[in-house]
Amino acid sequence: MTKATPTEAVARDASNAAGLDTDGLRLLGDHATAVHLLPRERLVVRVRGPQTLESAIRAVALTRRLDGYDLPVTRPARSLEPVVHDGHVLTWWEYYPQPPGWRPDAAELGSILRRLHALPQPPEPPPTYRPLADLADRVAASTTLDQTDKAWLAARIDTLLERYEHLTFPLGPAGLIHGDAYPGNLLADRHLTRLGDWDEAAHGPRELDLVNTYQGTRFGRGEPELERFADAYGFDPRRWDGFSVLREMRDLHTLGSFIRRADARDRNAHRELAHRITTLRTGDEQARWAPA
């Protein structure tokens, strides 16, 4: 018998309350967000913590608006709005079965981001991007990190934020950004490639949406793919003197979900978290990290 995940009962109960068929419900993934499949509805239900209700509401409204511009985004389920159930926030989205062996190419993300960044601001702009704010809170509250690592991470966050405040951004004034754009958030949908996971959408420098892909060298992304990404977007941030600041911020940002999982006694997450912190503290920019 497969052991039920902590969010399975929440996903099932909330989906039943919404009038959905939950027969065959199963977990697809659980990193920053737990994603469960409702196979008979051809929907997925995303389950997050209670502090994310406002961002979930914004994500649903924003993707509906972007879909109206024919931007290839993941589509929220019609007539289903975010709900809070048993201390969790749930949203429902169309399900896109992924072809076996399919791997998203960064060039597809570059094309989507170029179109996104050219769109007009929504009538109600998302909140201003707050760099590393969530990570700072998670580090302070962690039950896994020892005091030495907590102190180093807090000091590193402060250093990078100070450097960030002095950056001049070559792509112009801040605008609508995805906030967590990298090829891992792309999904195949027959002839389309869609961009999902809009919970961190914000008003901020467009360069933030670009640097994440280059951080993928930690996971084996090679130079040819990075060149295709830059060509598709029309700008290569590596030629900008602020690139290293955003790249180092992204390295730190990726720790957040591993801290959460390690605090929940996920041994694999704990090992990967320790490895990432060690490589950051030693300044090893070439170290490979395990994917989420």
Q: What is the pLDDT of residues 210-236, one digit of tens each?
A: 999 999 999 999 999 999 999 999 999
CA dist 158 and 154 (Å) reads 6
CATH number at residue 246: 3.90.1200.10
Q: Which two tokens stand for residue 291?
A: 């994917």
Query: Would 99 be classed as within a structural domain?
Result: no
pLDDT in tens, 169-189: 999 999 999 999 999 999 999
Confidence of residue 278 (pLDDT cuts 50, 70, 90): very high
Judgement on whether residues 172 and 232 belong to the same structural domain of the protein: yes
Residue 195: pLDDT band by 50, 70, 90 thresholds? Answer: very high
* Residues 129, 28 within the same domain: no
Residue 192 pLDDT exceeds 70? yes
Q: Do 135 and 271 have their domain in common?
A: yes
Which pLDDT value is given to residue 233? 98
Q: Using pLDDT thresholds of 50, 70 and 90, give the confidence band for residue 7.
A: very high
In this structure, the answer to whether residues 54 and 118 fall within a common structural domain is no
Long-range contacts of 259-268 (CB under 8 A, 24+ apart): 259/138, 259/139, 259/142, 259/144, 259/145, 260/32, 260/138, 261/31, 262/142, 262/144, 263/142, 263/143, 263/144
- Domain termination site, one of 60, 94, 128: 94
Give a yes or no: residue 80 inside a domain: yes
292 pLDDT band (50/70/90 cuts)? Answer: confident
Share of the chain above pLDDT 70, in %: 98
Residues in the chain: 292
How far is 14 from 48, CA to CA, in rounded Å?
13
Considering the domain boundaries, does residue 263 fall inside one? yes
Which amino acid, residue 65?
A: R
The pLDDT assigned to 25 comes to 98
Please report the pLDDT score of residue 157 as a whole number.
98
Q: Is the pLDDT of residue 2 over 50?
A: no
Spatial distance between the Cα atoms of 5 and 30, rounded to a whole number of angstroms: 9
* Domain match, 21 and 112 both: no
157, 26: one domain: no
**CA 186/CA 101 separation, integer angstroms:** 14
pLDDT in the model for residue 127: 93
- Whether pLDDT at 1 is above 70: no
Q: Whole-prediction pTM value?
A: 0.93
Report the C-alpha gap between 274 and 272 in whole angstroms.
5
Regarding whether 277 and 251 lie in a shared domain, the answer is yes
User: Could you report the per-residue pLDDT of 101-152, keeping only the tens digit for each?
Assistant: 999 999 999 999 999 999 988 888 899 999 999 999 999 999 999 999 999 9
Are 157 and 80 contained in the same domain? no
Residue 3 has pLDDT above 60, yes or no: no
| pLDDT tens track for 27-60 | 999 887 999 999 999 999 999 987 779 999 999 9
Residue 4 pLDDT greater than 90, yes or no: no
Question: 199 in a domain, yes or no?
Answer: yes
Same domain? For 69 and 110 the reply is no
Query: Are residue 84 and residue 163 in the same domain, yes or no?
Result: no
Q: How many domains does the chain have?
A: 2
Structural domain harbouring 172: 106-281
Residue 3, in any domain of the structure: no
The single-letter DSSP state of residue 32 is S
Check whether residue 268 and residue 150 sit in a common domain.
Answer: yes
251 in the same domain as 145? yes
Is 286 inside any structural domain? no
CATH number of the domain to which 38 belongs: 3.30.200.20
